[in-house]
Amino acid sequence: MHSAARFTRERPAVGKTLHVGLLVNPLAGLGGGLALKGSDGEAVREIADSLQKGQTSRAAQRCRRSLDRIRSVKVSLQFSCWGGSMGEDVLREAGFDASVLGSPSDGLSDAGDTRDAAVSLQAANVDLLVFVGGDGTARDILDAVGSDTPVLGIPAGVKMHSGVFAVSPEAAGDLMVVLSRGGLVDLKRRDVRDIDEEAFRLDTVRSRFYGELLVPCEGSFLQQTKLGGREDQQLAAAEIAAWQVEKMEPDRTYLVGPGSTTAAIMEELRLPCTLLGVDVVRDGELLLADADEASLLSLIESSNGPFSMIVTVIGGQGHLFGRGNQQISPAVIRAVGSDNINIVASKSKIAGLASRPLLLDTNDPLLDRTLRGLIRVNTGYDDYVIYRVE
């Protein structure tokens, strides 16, 4: 952060810091003060067009409260945003650097601009897409990026029945601080719901479920462990295995790395397992057992279908690659693709690192730099946390 903002138009490089995509719906909350029961629809846009800037600044003010919370503790974040009142202005006023990826089609943004901005931020590989708005904005975000991109709402709308918002702008800022410091934060799928504003204006409540967004929730795992006892490692591994097997795609080949957590996946598949080696499976069949680097590369080169790998973390050390799984070499990792790496570990194993990052030692410094950053770790049945890789 710096006292004066410097904005560029280039796509930002993803580095070690938390990369936040900020998207502001400048009309969010406007309908509340006007007793319009919401801020969606062309009529509200026409009213907004006639108002002074100070009368339409609720979303920016609430966003600024979150940004001030971040600035007060002096953590470093990387921002990307959309131009003007959709993010650039409030970041400039708060003194943050950012990369501006585009601008609304005209002076007054609409839902189409929100969706375009969300798609652009997703394409910039942000770690977290933070939007300022209400339920209507959440619907637009869902339409644009789907349910696999981590998203957090700063509450600024009139209607906020969805479960994707922080309890306050300050809470949203605090959550970003926790993430930037490598804290253990759960990822949960939360409902996106909205009320028919036209019906609501006639005193009829029609709430509808539109889908789910992936939302970081404040990490409460450590306190829960203290209250409820220690996590059962065997049960945690079984839950992870059940989820990983359920997610397996037809015709996709999976490299299953060494470890007791990954061994549970082979057990779930009812296949023999090499506890300290790499096994390869496809469509429920074992293709290779205890494969070496050459066998893995040969199989990848001779196969047309897609590949994924499932690896776990060494407890205590935190190594992800380079300790005990050297068969998964830099060449294998590049051939499979970094987007196809699935990391599995129990929450107690992650918590045992005491916020120390996962480690990379592939013997290829360029690859290590490429893989570092914030990643998702599967910690249970449809349960993930965000954690840092260094």
Report pLDDT digits (tens) over 48-60: 454 544 444 788 9
pLDDT of 364 reads 87
Between 315 and 142, whose confidence is greater? 142
Q: Above 90 in pLDDT, residue 115?
A: yes
Indicate whether 228 pLDDT > 60: no
CA geometry: angle 170, 175, 154, nearest 5 deg = 50
pLDDT in the model for residue 281: 97
Q: Which of 193-207, 273-287, 353-367 has the lowest mean pLDDT?
A: 193-207
Better-predicted residue by pLDDT, 293 or 227: 293
pLDDT at 126: 95
Instruction: Express as a percent the part of the chain with pLDDT over 90.
Output: 51
Please name the amino acid found at residue 365: P
Give the pLDDT of residue 79: 97
User: Model pTM?
Assistant: 0.69
Residue 285 has pLDDT above 90, yes or no: yes
Summarize the confidence of residues 73-83 as an average pLDDT: 91
Could you tell me which of 15, 12, 14, 17 has the C-alpha nearest to residue 1?
17
pLDDT in tens, 11-27: 333 346 899 999 999 88
Residue, of 66 and 184, whose pLDDT is higher: 66
In whole angstroms, give the CA distance from residue 219 to residue 185: 4
Residues 230 and 173: beta-carbon distance below 8 Å: no
* Sequence spans of domains, the chain: 7-219, 230-389
**Residue of 133, 80, 135 lying closest to 109 (CA atoms):** 133
Average pLDDT, rounded, for the chain: 82
pLDDT score of 229: 41
pLDDT at 47 over 60: no
Question: What is the pairing mode between strands 77-81 and 151-155?
Answer: unpaired
Whether the per-residue pLDDT at 340 is higher than 90: the answer is yes
Between the CA atoms of 347, 351, 386 and 71, what dihedral angle is there, to the nearest 10 degrees?
Answer: 150
- The mean pLDDT value for 122-135 works out to 94
CA-to-CA dists, residue 7 to 10, 14, 75, 87, 320, angstroms? 9, 16, 19, 11, 35
Q: What are the phi and psi torsion angles at 338 (to 5°)?
A: -60, -25
CA distance 188 to 158: 24
- Asked if pLDDT for residue 165 goes beyond 60, the answer is yes
pLDDT at 194: 79
What would the DSSP string read from start to end of 206-274? -EEEEEEEEEEE---HHHHHHHH----HHHHHHHHHHHHHHHPPTT-EEEE-SSHHHHHHHHHTT----
pLDDT bucket at 34, cuts 50 / 70 / 90:
very low
For the domain covering 230-389, report its CATH number. Answer: 3.40.50
Residue 194: phi and psi, rounded to 5, are -150, 155
pLDDT at position 318 is 85
Asked if residue 9 has pLDDT above 80, the reply is no
The least confident of 90-94, 108-112, 197-201, 312-316 is 197-201
Does residue 72 register a pLDDT over 50?
yes
Q: Please compute the mean of the pLDDT values over residues 229-243 and round it to a whole number.
A: 80
C-alpha span between 165 and 142 (Å, rounded): 13
Dihedral sign computed on CA atoms, order 49, 52, 53, 56: negative
Please give the helix or strand (H or E) that residue 100 lies within, else none. Answer: strand 98-100
Contact of 256 with 310, CB cutoff 8 Å: yes
pLDDT at 107: 65
Mind listing the pLDDT tens digit for each residue in 205-216?
456 789 999 998
Whether pLDDT at 335 is above 70: yes
